[in-house]
Amino acid sequence: MNMRLVDLGAPVAKNSFEKMIMMNVNRFLSFALSFVFVFVLSMSSVQMVAQSLPVSRHRHVVIAHRGDHVSLPENTLLAYKQGIDDGADYVEVDLRTTRDSFLVVMHNETVDRMTNGRGAIRDFDYAAIRGLVIWDAVHNQATRIPSFEEVLALCRNKINIYLDFKEADPGVTYAMIKKAGMEKHVAVYANSLEQITEWGKVAPAMPVITSIPDELKDSAAVAAFLDRYPIVGVDGSIGQYSPAIYRLFAQRHIAVWLDVQQKDEGPATWEKALAEKVPGMQSDHPAALVAYLKQKGIR
């Protein structure tokens, strides 16, 4: 009698155990599929905000360093207009902030070198900045420190901006870029790792360029840097990067814009940069560089 009870009960227990296993398997598969779905969605989101550089009409990018300032005052509307006329792809714009939070354009931290005034830009109100004089020897007339708003208006539908982010707020800057309709025509050069992070929070799709830290000498170290910081380009000097690092940049689709501006900049300098097969150069002589690239048949 007891044996029968055991014999009859065993199949019941077995069936219950199988059902429990199947339920757990189904739950696991449901969880796994949900995880895969969320992962795919998250990857799609990353791709949607992936950075991309502004479109250029030329396969070799020429950046007019501080505008074309060979004979015109640097970082002025005159120099930027000349850079546009030269056929450059970008003008480099150095961004700073006044005491009353206006965005203005000047390379130096102080106004001493360029104007008839003295002191740090951050210590001036905007009205006082606008009262300072920059002398234009070419036209024998006075000009002034431009506002970022003026530069955006000048460049719109004409040229891209390589924004050297000296001292400003990313949120305020991006709002002004969007208002001008220039969000697809600006690349930000970050002067610090903190700026890369700040721009990533404010405008994840804004293309960011920076310098590879000097202490990173091999491709493995540079790869780790690129894994951590979302950038689309780097600057650099001739001879700075090894073939292995250049291969890494190519694999990661990182643009390399070499700084070739120097006292003896000319064809010999440009040839050395071209030998490294870089897609762009920042130059103090944009008109001459454009003409040289055209002559070489690579622009």
The verdict on 11 and 79 lying in the same domain is no
Tens digit of pLDDT for each residue in 254-286?
A: 999 999 999 999 999 999 999 999 999 999 999
Structure-block tokens of residue 187: 């690349």
If asked whether residues 228 and 175 sit together in one domain, one would say yes
Residue at 288 is within a domain: yes
Together in a domain, 34 and 75:
no
Range of the domain at 135: 61-296
Within 13 Å, how many C-alpha atoms sit on residue 175's CB side?
7
**Which is higher by pLDDT, 132 or 23?**
132
Question: Where does the pLDDT of residue 299 fall: very low under 50, low under 70, confident under 90, or very high at 90 and above?
Answer: confident
Name which of 11-20, 152-161, 246-255 the model is least confident about: 11-20
**Residue 34 domain-assigned (yes or no):** yes
Asked if pLDDT for residue 37 goes beyond 60, the answer is: no
pLDDT of residue 30: 45
Please write the tens of the pLDDT for every residue from 189-239: 999 999 999 999 999 999 999 999 999 999 999 999 999 999 999 999 999
- pTM to 2 decimals? 0.83
Q: Which residue has the higher pLDDT, 36 or 221?
A: 221
pLDDT at 292: 98
Q: Taking the C-alpha atoms of 223, 225, 226 and 231 in order, what is their torsion angle to the nearest 10 degrees?
A: -150
**Whether residue 20 is found in the same domain as residue 143:** no
CA–CA separation, 58 and 19 (whole Å): 66
Residue 241 included in any domain: yes
8 and 76 together in one domain? no
Distance in angstroms (rounded) separating the CA atoms of residues 80 and 76:
6
Question: Same domain for 224 and 201?
Answer: yes
**What's the structural domain count of the chain?**
2
- In tens, the pLDDT along 67-88 reads 999 889 999 999 999 999 999 9
- Cα(20)–Cα(12) distance, rounded to whole angstroms? 12
CA distances to 22, 27, 86, 290 from 19, in Å: 5, 12, 77, 75
